[in-house]
Amino acid sequence: MKIQVKVKVNSRTEEVSQEDNIFTVKVNKPPREGKANQAVIKLLAKHFEVHKSQVRILGGVKSKNKIIEIVGR
């Protein structure tokens, strides 16, 4: 399954919300050294109840708008 994700970094809370076909992921990590991307993967894995290795960033690694693939869903 592929989803569109909009990431908000340095947030006070960590949460996943959905509006139409776009997921908004708020993480409290900074966008440095891949920390925010790792937090996004961890949060989405928890949200979809899959292992972190089943969540991959296909596009937008350095962007706030990403395409994420969740394997096994």
pLDDT tens string 25-36: 999 999 999 999
Q: How far is Cα 73 from Cα 66, in angstroms, rounded to an integer?
A: 18
CATH code at position 15? 3.30.1200.10
In total, how many domains does the chain have? 1
E runs forming strands in the chain:
2-8, 15-19, 22-26, 55-59, 65-70
Q: Which domain holds residue 53?
A: 2-70
pLDDT in tens, 5-46: 999 999 999 999 999 999 999 999 999 999 999 999 999 999
- Other residues' Cβ atoms within 10 Å of the Cβ of residue 7: 23
Q: Are the C-beta atoms of residues 21 and 34 closer than 8 Å to each other?
A: no
